[in-house]
Amino acid sequence: MSFTGKVGRPKASSRETLAEAACELFLERGYDATSVADITQRAGVSRSSFFNYFASKSDVLWSGVDERIAQAIRSLNDLHKAATGDAVREVLLLIVRDFEPDPLALALRNAGAMGLDDELVRDTGLRLARLAAAVSRAASAAGVDVIRADILGAAHAAAVLSSLRVWAEHGAGLGTPDAVLRDALATIHHLPWA
């Protein structure tokens, strides 16, 4: 029987080591000019190992946010019919709570230096679409017409992503990200939903 709970070879290098190496290089040379091989070389691991930790190169920047979004989507799917707009908004607020030291924040702040502008539009779009689809499903389940549900979904998703971006760009001068988001959601509070 096992008692320690730990079996097998221990990890030799952490996700964080790789993420740090990656962020350094992105800042030094830019995102495109940095290959996965470069990252693993600086981190002192083999290229193969990179994909044990991250699903893709861009995952270095987005994995934190993606986890939160995935959790939110699960919560949204579990929402019962007749879910209110408020219930949805509560779920969304959890995405940005305690966001602080995330690689994505760094990327959003230094998008120019990293040569990330195009990349960020692309990647933000993907998350926007995912989140929008989930909110839209919730709205549909609550009886909202399909297209209206899509619009509702996009508006809510945009509030989330936009809050993160604006907050990251302005440093902590705006307060916490969830305060920013709360403010943003107030704008669409009166949309036909509910």
Partner DNA sequence: AGGGTAGTTGGACTGAGGCTAACAATACTC
Partner DNA sequence: GAGTATTGTTAGCCTCAGTCCAACTACCCT
Q: Are 146 and 140 in contact (CB under 8 A)?
A: yes
Specify the residue for token string 């302005």: 170
In the complex, the smallest distance separating the C-beta of residue 116 from DNA, rounded to whole angstroms, is 13
SS3 110: coil
3-state helix, strand, coil in the chain (%, to 5): 70, 0, 30
Peptide bond between residue 19 and the one before it cis (omega within 30 degrees of 0): no
Contact between 158 and a copy of itself (CB under 8 A)? yes
For the beta carbon of residue 121, count every other beta carbon within 10 angstroms. Answer: 10
Task: Choose among a copy of itself, DNA, none what residue 34 binds, the Cβ cut-off being 5 to 8 Å by kind.
Answer: DNA
In the complex, the smallest distance separating the C-beta of residue 144 from a copy of itself, rounded to whole angstroms, is 10
User: Which one, 27 or 36, has the nearer CB to DNA?
Assistant: 36
* Terminal CA-CA length for the chain: 55
Contact between 154 and a copy of itself (CB under 8 A)? yes
User: Which one, 57 or 127, has the nearer CB to DNA?
Assistant: 57
User: Which one, 21 or 120, has the nearer CB to a copy of itself?
Assistant: 120
Contact between 36 and DNA (CB under 7 A)? yes
Q: Is 142 exposed, middle or buried (0-12, 13-18, 19+ CB in 10 A)?
A: buried
| Span from 8-16, 61-69, 95-103, 174-182 in contact with DNA (CB under 7 A) | 8-16
Rounded CA gap, 72 and 128, in Å? 13
- Binding a copy of itself by CB under 8 A: which of 42, 130, 137, 182? 130
User: What is the chain's length?
Assistant: 194
| Span from 41-49, 73-81, 110-118, 121-129 in contact with DNA (CB under 7 A) | 41-49
SS3 182: helix
User: Which one, 55 or 82, has the nearer CB to DNA?
Assistant: 55
- Binding a copy of itself by CB under 8 A: which of 36, 87, 141, 188? 188
User: Which one, 40 or 124, has the nearer CB to a copy of itself?
Assistant: 124
Task: Choose among DNA, a copy of itself, none what residue 49 binds, the Cβ cut-off being 5 to 8 Å by kind.
Answer: DNA
